[in-house]
Structure 1
Amino acid sequence: MANFLLERTAPLPLDEAWRRITRWRRHGDVVPLTVVTVVPPEPTRVGTVVMARSGVGPLSFEDPMVVTVWQPPQDGAPGMCRLEKRGRVVLGWAELEVRPGPGGRTRVVWREEIRIRLLPSLFDGLLRPSARYVFGRALNRLLRHP
């Protein structure tokens, strides 16, 4: 199981940073070879299922994630969302958080524990930097583009 942490400071209000990182379908636009669907479609709440389908044709897999914590930022207070990965291939969890940052900016934190079923922990040393790169790039793109 590989753990990683991403932190970014964005020149956005808390609400806007939150909106950008929790528009689930947009994750499919910024993660290569991935399409994201959401059930129910809107609004997100505890129990919402975010389904990421990654790959091409028969070499694809589904990564269902269930929202287990949903606390949007309110009145300047931080916001936090937790997704539990419950797929046949990808397991673990992800937490997305927004909080006030320096100079009126927003601090965004993405924590994740990811495990690929049948992949020995010996490969965590490769999985961790790969996941940091892919999700770090995705987070940058989510925050840059409305």
Structure 2
Amino acid sequence: MRRALVRSDVLVAAPARLVWDYVTDWPRQGEWIPMTRVEALDAADRVGGLIRAWTGVGPVGFWDTMTITAWEEQPDGSARCEVLHTGRVVRGDGEFAVVADGPDSCRFVWWERLDLPFGRLGALGWRLTGWSMRSGVDAALRRLAQRAEALHAAV
């Protein structure tokens, strides 16, 4: 099985705890991840929790089901969540983390290691189109930073 890595990070001028609370408010992820709606299926704030994300427009799209495999929070607001993608379309693992960098700033890091279907054909397709997913993740993280900073300014 071939795998593809997507990794991005962004500096956020807001406290790590505020950013963590924002990114783990699962339904609000649709505010910064385009064409995505996220739902918690059960206790989605601990290992074993289940979440799912609908990616698409209207009825055209797919469910990305995930199991939380790691959940850690630190006193300074730093935190991380690892997931295992278990859906039919998206498979692999990923993590997002908030790393505190002082009382009013942090870095948000997101990576996904995705299983590519279709062997060599899938690997070729990734080489031709993977840049678009990377660009989309970068744009989503910029939106995340803008929204978290606006929340912080409103407090």
TM bin (shorter chain): 0.7 to 0.9
Deviation at 1:111, TM superposition (A): 1.4
Alignment of 1:105-120 (within 5 A): 105-118=105-118, 120=122
4+ residue runs of structure 1 moved beyond 3 angstroms?
Answer: 56-59, 115-119
Query: How far did residue 34 of structure 1 move?
Result: 2.2
Q: Secondary structure at the match of 1:60?
A: strand
**Are residues 9 and 31 of structure 1, via their aligned partners in 2, closer, same or farther at CA, if it must alter by over 3 Å?**
closer
User: How do 1:68-107 residues align onto structure 2 when only pairs under 5 Å count?
Assistant: 68-72=69-73, 74-76=74-76, 78-101=78-101, 105-107=105-107
Q: Secondary structure at the match of 1:99?
A: strand
Could you tell me whether the CA contact under 8 Å between 1:90 and 1:117 is conserved in 2? no
1:45 aligns with 2:80: no
Q: TM-score, normalised by structure 2?
A: 0.79
SS of 1:142's partner is helix
Q: Partner residue of 1:128?
A: 130
RMSD of the TM alignment (CA)?
2.3
- Structure 1 residue runs of 5 or longer lacking an equivalent are none
- Mean Cα displacement is larger for which, 76-85 or 7-16? 76-85
Percent of pairs with identical residues? 31
Distance apart, 1:66 and its partner CA: 1.0
Matched length: 144
Q: Does 1:18 align with 2:46?
A: no
Larger radius of gyration: 2
Structure 2 regions of 5+ residues with no counterpart? Answer: none
